C-alpha cells in the first residue's frame, strides 16, 4: 500500500505505474483516493476547530457564571451542546472516510522498480540465466504420477474418496523422499543463517489484508466458517504477520526466518492438461524464507534469496533457470519478482518451482512493521519472501531429472545431498 501523501503529490506517476501494469481499470482509484483524503482532511480540520472552540467556550462559561451572568452562560452552554452534536457527526464521518480511503488505497498497485521489464503477462517474462544442462534421457520419461506409481508411492483414488479432487496420499519411499527434501531445505537455510520457525497455520483477516491483495485472497484462501481465521496459502503470510504492529531496533536488522508449514489453496480455474497430476493441489507442504530489512538493503537481499533457491536445486542435480517477472505479471504489492523454474524432461520445458519477491514497504505499511533507527527516527521496514521448496513440484523435478532406466527397469538416483536424509540410500528401485 502506498502512502496517500505520496499519491496526492505524485498522481501522474502513480497512474503511469498502473498503466505500466496494464491495469487501466484501476486508474480512477487515484482520483478517488485523493478526493477522499481531501475530504478527510477538511473533516479533521473542522473537528479540531470545534474541539478547540469547545475548550474556549467552557472557560467563558465558567467566567460568566462567576460574574452571575447566568443567561449568557446558558446561551453558551446551548452552543456547546449544538457543537457537540456536530462534533459527534464529524467523528463518525472521520471513521467512515478513513475506512473508505483505506479500502481504495489497498487496491492501488505498488510502484514497481525501474528495472522491471514492461509486459502484459507471464508470456513476456524475461529469462535472466540458466543453470545446469537440460536433461534429455534416451528413454520415455513417464508422467510424474506414473513414476510415483512405479514405487507404490501415490494414491490419488483413495484421496479422492476421502477429500475429493486436488488431494493425494504419498506412500513409502516417495513419501520419505518428500520429507527428505523438506528436511534438507530446512537445514540448507539454517546454514545460510536463517532462524527456523514453525508458524501458526491460520491467520486473522487483518493479517490477510496486510500481506496480499483482495484478488489474491479470493483466488487462494480458505476461510474457517464462523471464525475470523483463514488457512494459510503460504507460511510467508504467517511469518510476516509475526511482526504486525511492532517496532524493531535498527541494530537487530535484518530479520531472516525460514519456515515449514502445510499450505492450503483453492487453486481456482483450469490450468491445462499438463498440470493434472500434483502440479496444482489444495494441500501441500512448503519451506519458505522471509527477510525484514532496511530499505537500502532490500535489493541486495532480493538477489541473495533467489540465488539460494538456484543453489539448492543445483545441489540436487536439477537444471533451473531464472525469469524476471514483467510488470503485468507482478501482484499489486510487489516491487520486483523472479521466478525460478525447474527443467522437466517429460514436458521438454521449464516449470515454476520458486517465486522470489521484494515488496518494498507495502506489507510493512499495511501491518505497521516499523523500525527505530539509531538516530531515533522511525521508518517502515522492507519485506521480502521466497520459496525454498514446495515439495510436490520439487518432487516432480527431482524424480524426472534423476530417473534412470536399465533394461526396462526404472530407478531414481538419490542426490548426494539427500542421502543422509534417506538413511544413506543412494537409489530407489521401482517395484513395478
Q: CA–CA distance from 15 to each of 36, 122, 245 (Å)?
A: 17, 22, 30
Q: How far apart are the C-alpha atoms of 357 and 385, rounded to whole Å?
A: 5
Domains of the chain plus CATH, in order, are: 4-105 (1.10.287.40), 122-429 (3.30.930.10)
The percentage of residues in the chain with a pLDDT greater than 70, rounded to a whole number, is: 96
Asked if 343 and 401 touch (Cβ cutoff 8 Å), the reply is yes
**Residue whose grid cell is 471513521:** 95
Q: If you average pLDDT over residues 334-346, what whole number do you get?
A: 97
Q: How far apart are the C-alpha atoms of 60 and 57, rounded to whole Å?
A: 5
User: Is the pLDDT confidence value at 58 over 90?
Assistant: no
Average pLDDT score over the chain: 93
Task: Work out the pLDDT band at 216, boundaries 50, 70, 90.
Answer: confident
Q: b or e along 162-175 (b: 16 or more beta carbons within 10 Å of the residue's beta carbon)?
A: eeeebbbebbebbb
Neighbours of 302 (CB within 10 A): 24
pLDDT of residue 131: 96
pLDDT of residue 274: 47
Q: How far apart are the C-alpha atoms of 336 and 305, rounded to whole Å?
A: 13
87-109 residue pLDDT tens = 888 999 999 999 999 999 999 99
pLDDT of residue 218: 77
User: Is the pLDDT confidence value at 384 over 80?
Assistant: yes
pLDDT of residue 273: 41
146-156 residue pLDDT tens = 999 999 999 99
Q: If you average pLDDT over residues 188-205, what whole number do you get?
A: 97
Asked if 253 and 373 touch (Cβ cutoff 8 Å), the reply is no
* β-strand partners of 369: 246
Cell numbers standing for residue 163: 477429500
Asked if 316 and 340 touch (Cβ cutoff 8 Å), the reply is no
User: Is the pLDDT confidence value at 67 over 80?
Assistant: no
**Residue whose grid cell is 483505506:** 102
pLDDT of residue 275: 53
Nearest to 142 by CA among 347, 343, 353, 281: 347
Sequence-distant (≥ 6) Cβ neighbours of residue 3 within 8 angstroms: 365
Rg (CA), the chain: 28
| Across 27-31, 54-58, 119-123, 166-170, least confident range | 54-58
Query: Beta strand 255-264 with 195-197: parallel, antiparallel or unpaired?
Result: parallel
Q: If you average pLDDT over residues 152-173, what whole number do you get?
A: 95
244-286 residue pLDDT tens = 999 999 999 999 999 999 999 997 654 554 456 888 899 999 9
Q: b or e along 24-58 (b: 16 or more beta carbons within 10 Å of the residue's beta carbon)?
A: eebeebbebbbebbeebeebeeebeebeeeeeeee
Q: CA–CA distance from 422 to each of 100, 171, 390, 432 (Å)?
A: 55, 14, 18, 21
- Report the 3 state secondary structure along the chain: CCCHHHHHHCHHHHHHHHHHCCCHHHCHHHHHHHHHHHHHHHHHHHHHHHHHHHHHHHHHHHHHHHCCCHHHHHHHHHHHHHHHHHHHHHHHHHHHHHHHHHHHHCCCCCCCCCCCCCCCCHHHCEEEEEECCCCCCCCCCCCHHHHHHHCCCEEHHHHHHHCCCCCCEECHHHHHHHHHHHHHHHHHHHHCCCEEECCCCEECHHHHHHHCCHHHHHHHCEECCCCCCEECCCHHHHHHHCCCCEEEEHHHCCEEEEEEEEEECCCCCCCCHHHCCCCCCCEEEEEEEEEEECHHHHHHHHHHHHHHHHHHHHCCCCCEEEEECCHHHCCCCCCEEEEEEEEECCCCEEEEEEEEEECCCHHHHHHCEEEECCCCCEEECEEEEEEEECHHHHHHHHHHHCEEEECCEEEEECCCCCHHHHCCCCEEECCC
Amino acid at each position: 500500500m502506498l502512502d496517500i501523501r505520496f499519491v496526492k503529490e505524485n498522481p501522474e506517476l502513480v497512474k503511469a505505474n498502473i498503466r505500466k501494469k496494464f491495469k487501466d481499470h484501476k486508474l480512477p482509484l487515484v482520483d478517488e483516493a485523493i478526493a477522499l483524503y481531501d475530504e478527510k482532511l477538511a473533516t479533521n480540520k473542522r473537528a479540531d476547530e470545534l474541539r478547540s472552540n469547545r475548550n474556549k467556550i467552557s472557560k467563558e462559561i465558567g467566567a460568566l457564571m462567576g460574574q452571575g451572568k447566568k443567561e449568557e452562560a446558558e446561551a453558551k452552554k446551548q452552543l456547546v451542546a449544538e457543537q457537540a452534536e456536530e462534533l459527534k457527526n464529524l467523528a463518525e464521518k472521520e471513521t467512515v472516510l478513513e475506512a473508505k480511503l483505506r479500502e481504495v488505497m489497498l487496491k492501488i498497485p505498488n510502484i514497481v522498480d525501474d528495472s522491471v521489464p514492461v509486459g502484459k503477462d507471464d508470456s513476456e517474462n524475461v529469462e535472466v540465466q540458466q543453470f545446469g544442462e537440460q536433461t534429455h534421457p534416451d528413454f520415455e520419461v513417464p508422467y510424474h504420477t506414473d513414476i510415483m506409481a512405479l514405487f507404490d508411492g501415490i494414491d490419488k483414488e483413495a484421496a479422492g474418496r476421502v477429500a475429493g479432487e486436488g488431494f493425494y496420499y504419498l506412500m513409502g519411499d516417495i513419501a520419505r523422499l518428500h520429507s527428505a527434501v523438506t528436511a534438507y531445505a530446512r537445514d540448507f537455510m539454517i546454514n545460510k543463517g536463517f532462524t527456523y520457525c514453525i508458524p501458526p497455520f491460520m491467520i486473522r483477516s487483518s493479517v490477510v489484508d496486510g500481506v496480499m491483495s483482495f484478488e489474491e485472497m479470493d483466488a487462494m484462501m480458505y476461510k474457517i466458517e464462523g471464525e475470523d481465521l483463514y488457512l494459510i496459502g503460504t507460511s510467508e503470510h504467517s511469518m510476516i504477520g509475526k511482526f504486525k504492529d511492532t517496532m524493531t531496533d535498527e541494530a537487530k536488522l535484518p530479520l531472516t526466518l525460514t519456515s515449514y508449514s502445510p499450505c492450503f489453496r483453492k487453486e481456482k480455474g483450469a490450468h491445462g492438461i499438463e498440470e493434472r497430476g500434483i502440479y496444482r493441489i489444495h494441500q501441500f507442504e512448503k519451506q519458505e524464507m522471509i527477510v525484514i530489512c532496511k530499505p537500502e538493503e532490500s535489493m541486495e537481499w532480493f538477489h541473495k534469496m533467489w540465488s539460494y533457491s538456484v543453489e539448492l536445486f543445483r545441489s540436487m542435480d536439477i537444471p533451473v533457470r531464472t525469469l524476471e517477472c514483467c510488470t503485468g505479471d507482478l501482484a499489486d504489492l510487489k516491487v520486483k519478482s523472479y521466478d525460478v523454474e525447474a527443467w522437466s524432461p517429460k514436458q521438454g520445458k521449464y516449470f515454476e518451482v520458486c517465486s522470489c519477491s521484494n515488496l518494498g514497504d507495502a506489507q510493512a505499511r499495511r501491518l505497521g512493521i516499523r523500525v527505530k533507527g539509531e538516530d531515533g527516527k522511525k521508518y517502515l521496514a522492507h519485506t521480502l519472501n521466497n520459496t525454498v521448496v514446495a515439495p510436490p513440484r520439487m518432487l516432480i523435478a527431482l524424480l524426472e531429472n534423476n530417473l534412470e532406466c536399465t533394461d526396462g527397469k526404472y530407478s531414481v538416483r538419490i542426490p548426494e545431498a539427500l542421502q543422509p536424509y534417506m538413511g544413506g540410500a543412494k537409489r530407489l528401485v521401482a517395484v513395478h
